[in-house]
């Protein structure tokens, strides 16, 4: 499928289907639209009337044009209120168009949308992203996919010129999102710590990143007792992955992205029971998957920023060698942890990963993790929690996420709640009371950062979508690759 930008005006375009974006309550046919209406012999006006099309965001209407027409089908897409137009509206609108185009078996599709803030580059990129992400389908595990691939061969984005660079950028960004989606969607007997590390190795080879993979012995030498405690019961070796992107010029800043990488979370000896969603826990490497997805995009976009990507990959299993509930682990910063619940394993792996990241002397660290069910209870499935020790970093991530159309909510780093993690025998326990569970998880992580500006993203909800929504199809979403990349690009 070829996405192209073109100066061709709406009225001169010909092909299988043309999609028009219309604002809410602005469906009066003036200017170009009235000319198009004439050209279609009044079918545009009829469609608006018969479909009672009001331009509401996400709404659509389709009709066939007369047999003499150079265009076979007309698609209307609602863009919502004009004063609320944003890149994300267009991203979602483009997703609607792409899905209709696929359903209508169009080979060539034209899209005519308005620009956001007259920014033709960003507008084109957002439309391209919406198209690619909504059409991505994952049939790797089907012997005979019922979902046939789209017939779309060319999609023309009308009115903004060629925009080759913007379209390339969107394709690169989407390739990172898709890598994250495919890693998350792959089951635990396909993506395990070993194959996850192999994926990182392939990325390094293909895109020229530096890579260092610390094997168990090296992790032992570095005193990563918290990470290794979780890894103990697995028959597969833990892999501590560190990828580095270095620009050719002196970097403007140095950043680290740390992703929770549990390729499966059984809960350990505090095993997840019936109804706990244990069968969905292949997605517990969603943080690591997005970290690798961001690495893939960043390595190609080549910003003047040095970026470290850190994934402590393992699985949380049960066996005679498993860590016991009540065990005391010592992390690589010397702090001791009483493991009062083996199912709070993500924070244990992240503890050593954060200590490692801070030793890299970066300017800021962001970790992302499918950390707590409590965060889903608090914010639902579409919004990620954001905790930070640094206001500037909070602002940077908020801005990056708004441009990406990925939602975050700033949560309190309520120091007083650390009382809930006090242990009579060790420096801390790994879990506190049920109430405020996502906050105590963030406070636990904070014990492993000394002074570097740091943010923690609890992405337990948004990594997975039960049904199609926006640019996401049902399944893995690739959240929050786009926010991470925007943040690094600044
Ligand atoms: N991976 C889970 C969190 C999770 C739950 C992610 C649901 C996605 C969907 C995490 O390791 C976990 O088990 N957390 C426990 C913590 C508890 C033991 C304090 C939880 O949320 O129940
Ligand atoms: Mn768990
Ligand atoms: Zn987990």
Residues across the chain: 490
Which ligand is located closest to the Cα atom of residue 341? 1
Q: What's the rounded Cα separation, in Å, for the pair 246 and 234?
A: 34
- Catalytic positions: 272, 347
CATH topology (fold) of 173-489 = Aminopeptidase (3.40.630)
Distance 23 CA to ligand 3 centre (A): 43
Average pLDDT of the chain, as a whole number:
97
Residue 170 contacts residue 300 (beta carbons within 8 Å): no
Amino acid 147: pLDDT: 87
Distance 341 CA to ligand 1 centre (A): 11
Amino acid 68: pLDDT: 84
What 3-state DSSP class applies to 191? coil
Tell me the whole-structure pTM to 2 decimals.
0.98
Ligand 1 site, residue 229, Cβ cutoff 6 A: no
Task: Considering the domain delimited by 2-162, tell me its CATH architecture.
Answer: 3-Layer(aba) Sandwich (3.40)
Amino acid 106: pLDDT: 97
Site of tokens 């996420």: 401
pLDDT at residue 384 greater than cutoff 90: yes
Domain boundaries, the chain: 2-162, 173-489
Residues in CB range of 128: below 8 A, 6 or more apart = 3, 94, 157, 166, 167, 170, 171, 174
The model's confidence at residue 66, banded by pLDDT at 50, 70 and 90, is: confident
Q: What is the pLDDT of residues 408-451, one digit of tens each?
A: 999 999 999 999 999 999 999 999 999 999 999 999 999 999 99
Site of tokens 């691939």: 149
Amino acid 165: pLDDT: 98
Amino acid 250: pLDDT: 98
Half-sphere exposure of 453 (CA within 13 A, CB side): 13
Amino acid 67: pLDDT: 82
The model's confidence at residue 169, banded by pLDDT at 50, 70 and 90, is: very high
Distance 422 CA to ligand 2 centre (A): 20
């Amino acid at each position: 499928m070829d996405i192209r930008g073109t100066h061709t005006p709406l009225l001169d375009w010909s092909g299988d289907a043309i999609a028009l974006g219309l604002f809410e309550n602005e469906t009066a046919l003036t200017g170009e639209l009235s000319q198009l209406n004439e050209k279609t012999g009044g079918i545009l006006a009829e469609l608006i009337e018969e479909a009672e099309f009001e331009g509401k965001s996400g709404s659509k209407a389709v009709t066939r044009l007369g047999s003499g027409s150079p265009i076979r089908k007309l698609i209307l897409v609602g863009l919502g209120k004009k004063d609320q137009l944003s890149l994300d509206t267009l991203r979602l609108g483009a997703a609607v168009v792409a899905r209709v185009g696929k359903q209508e078996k169009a080979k060539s599709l034209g899209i005519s949308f308005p620009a956001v803030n007259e920014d033709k580059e960003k507008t084109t990129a957002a439309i391209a992203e919406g198209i690619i992400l909504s059409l991505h389908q994952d049939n790797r595990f089907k012997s005979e996919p019922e979902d046939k691939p789209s017939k779309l061969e060319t999609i023309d984005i009308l009115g903004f010129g060629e925009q080759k660079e913007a379209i390339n950028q969107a394709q690169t960004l989407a390739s990172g999102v898709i890598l994250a989606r495919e890693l998350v969607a792959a089951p635990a007997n396909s993506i395990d710590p070993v194959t996850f590390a192999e994926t990182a190795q392939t990325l390094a080879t293909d895109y020229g990143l530096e890579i260092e993979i610390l094997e168990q012995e090296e992790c032992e030498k570095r005193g990563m007792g918290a990470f290794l405690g979780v890894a103990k019961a697995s028959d597969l070796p833990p892999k501590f992955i560190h990828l580095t992107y270095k620009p050719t010029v002196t970097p403007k800043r140095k950043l680290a992205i740390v992703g929770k990488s549990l390729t499966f979370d059984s809960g350990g000896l505090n095993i997840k029971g019936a109804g706990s969603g244990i069968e969905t826990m292949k997605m517990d490497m969603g943080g690591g998957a997005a970290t690798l997805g961001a690495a893939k995009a960043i390595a190609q976009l080549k910003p003047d920023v040095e970026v470290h990507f850190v994934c402590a990959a393992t699985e949380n299993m049960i066996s005679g060698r498993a860590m016991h509930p009540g065990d005391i682990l010592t992390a690589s910063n010397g702090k001791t942890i009483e493991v009062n619940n083996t199912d709070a394993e993500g924070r244990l792996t992240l503890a050593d990963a954060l200590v490692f990241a801070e030793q890299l002397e970066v300017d800021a660290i962001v970790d992302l993790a499918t950390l707590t069910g409590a965060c889903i209870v608090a914010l639902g499935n579409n919004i990620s929690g954001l905790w930070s020790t640094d206001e500037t970093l909070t602002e940077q991530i908020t801005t990056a996420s708004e441009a990406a159309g990925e939602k975050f909510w700033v949560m309190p780093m309520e120091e007083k709640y650390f009382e809930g993690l006090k242990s009579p025998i060790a420096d801390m326990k790994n879990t506190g009371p049920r109430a405020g569970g996502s906050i105590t998880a963030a406070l636990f992580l904070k014990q492993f950062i000394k002074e570097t500006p740091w943010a923690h993203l609890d992405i337990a909800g948004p990594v997975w979508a039960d049904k199609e929504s926006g640019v996401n199809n049902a399944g893995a979403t690739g959240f929050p690759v786009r926010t991470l990349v925007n943040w690094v690009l600044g």
